[in-house]
């Protein structure tokens, strides 16, 4: 059976695993990410692969990188939370490891994992929307990862939804992730709680102070029936639904999979998302509507997808 290694590189951790042809992770390792040191990141990746190869017959390595990766799946052009700038990661890792290496944007890798083994296993066209600190995305069209002309397609968190709106780290204003991300969810809950909103009292009691409110606090409170927390998640869902409707008008996927930390709220997020999505979709009474599903692979999606792309 063919075994490949998947590596998921983020700003805080690097996860590695051995994945078989059925998408099963046979062994998994994880280390902290030395995000500010290019050589140290490559050392950490090489060490993970070396440990896994000592126990498994690995044929190739797929690396999911949190950044812009060129169309040749070799060079990381820029990684906002890592030290990579125009780094030939493929070439440098192949020299160190001695195996074939494929480099892919981490969201693309996660989308491929969900397409092959998760929420999109039964379709040919999938949009993955990850809702965490920001809003990320990956796209599979006609059974292939869609990377765009320059390799940087599907940066859906930077779809502009409010001209002149909240400033975004990308340099623009009014991007979707400024309204529909975990960061936006927490920002608005803290703001309202800090203004003395009476409905926020239960959430403040749970967190200890308005400024201490976290995303998991909001999800836990909503799951316990707190109306303020329920409404905060619903507002996030409504923004996502409207943004996804615009994307579906252009991309027309069969399935939209929702992943990332905020998706742990499940139907508290997805139900208002679906309502807003269907209300905002042009011609909705006369067209098929994409299925909105929870992503199923969780934190393993990027690792599994990168490993499978390396196998191909």
User: Residue 12 maps to which CATH number?
Assistant: 3.30.420.40
What angle in degrees, to the nearest 10, is found between the helix axes of 267-280 and 227-251?
40
Contact 294, 120 (CB under 8 A): no
Q: Measured between alpha carbons, how far is 38 from 40 in angstroms, rounded to an integer?
A: 5
**Does residue 49 contact residue 5 with C-beta atoms inside 8 Å?**
yes
Give strand pairing partners of 139: 127
Domain with 154 in it: 122-295
In terms of domains, do 144 and 104 share one? no
Residue 80 pLDDT > 80? no
Mean pLDDT of the chain: 94
User: What are the tens digits of pLDDT across the range 12-46?
Assistant: 889 999 999 999 999 999 999 888 888 999 999 99
Burial class (CB in 10 A: 0-12, 13-18, 19+), 203: buried
| Average pLDDT rounded to a whole number, residues 101-112 | 94
Shared domain for 153 and 254, answered yes or no, is: yes
Tell me, yes or no, whether 147 and 84 share the same domain: no
From CA 213, how far away is CA 261, in angstroms rounded?
Answer: 15
Overall number of domains in the chain? 2
């Amino acid at each position: 059976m063919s075994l490949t290694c998947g590596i998921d590189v983020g700003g805080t951790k690097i996860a590695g695993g051995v994945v078989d042809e059925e998408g099963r992770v046979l062994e998994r390792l994880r280390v902290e990410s030395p995000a500010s040191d290019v050589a140290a990141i490559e050392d950490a990746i090489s060490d993970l692969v070396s440990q896994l190869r000592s126990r498994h017959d690995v044929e190739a390595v797929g690396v999911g990188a949190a950044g812009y990766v060129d169309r040749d799946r070799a060079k990381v052009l820029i990684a906002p939370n890592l030290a990579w700038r125009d780094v030939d990661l493929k070439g440098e890792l192949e020299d160190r490891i001695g195996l074939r290496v494929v480099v892919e944007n981490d969201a693309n890798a996660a989308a491929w994992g969900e397409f092959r083994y998760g929420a999109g296993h039964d379709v040919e066209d999938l949009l993955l929307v990850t809702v965490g600190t920001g809003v990320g995305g990956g796209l599979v069209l006609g059974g292939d990862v869609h990377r765009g002309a320059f390799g940087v397609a599907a940066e859906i968190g930077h779809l502009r939804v409010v001209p002149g709106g909240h400033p975004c780290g990308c340099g623009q204003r009014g991007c979707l992730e400024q309204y529909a991300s975990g960061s936006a969810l927490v920002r608005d809950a803290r703001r309202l709680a800090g203004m003395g909103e009476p409905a926020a009292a239960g959430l403040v009691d749970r967190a200890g102070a308005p400024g201490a409110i976290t995303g998991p606090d909001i999800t836990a409170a909503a799951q316990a029936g707190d109306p303020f927390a329920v409404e905060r998640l619903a507002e996030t869902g409504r923004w996502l639904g409207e943004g996804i409707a615009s994307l579906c008008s252009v991309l027309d996927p069969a399935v939209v999979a929702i992943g990332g930390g905020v998706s742990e709220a499940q139907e508290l997020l997805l139900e208002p998302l679906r309502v807003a999505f269907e209300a905002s979709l042009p011609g909705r009474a006369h067209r098929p509507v994409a299925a909105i599903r929870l992503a199923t692979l969780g934190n393993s999606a990027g690792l599994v997808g990168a490993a499978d792309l390396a196998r191909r």
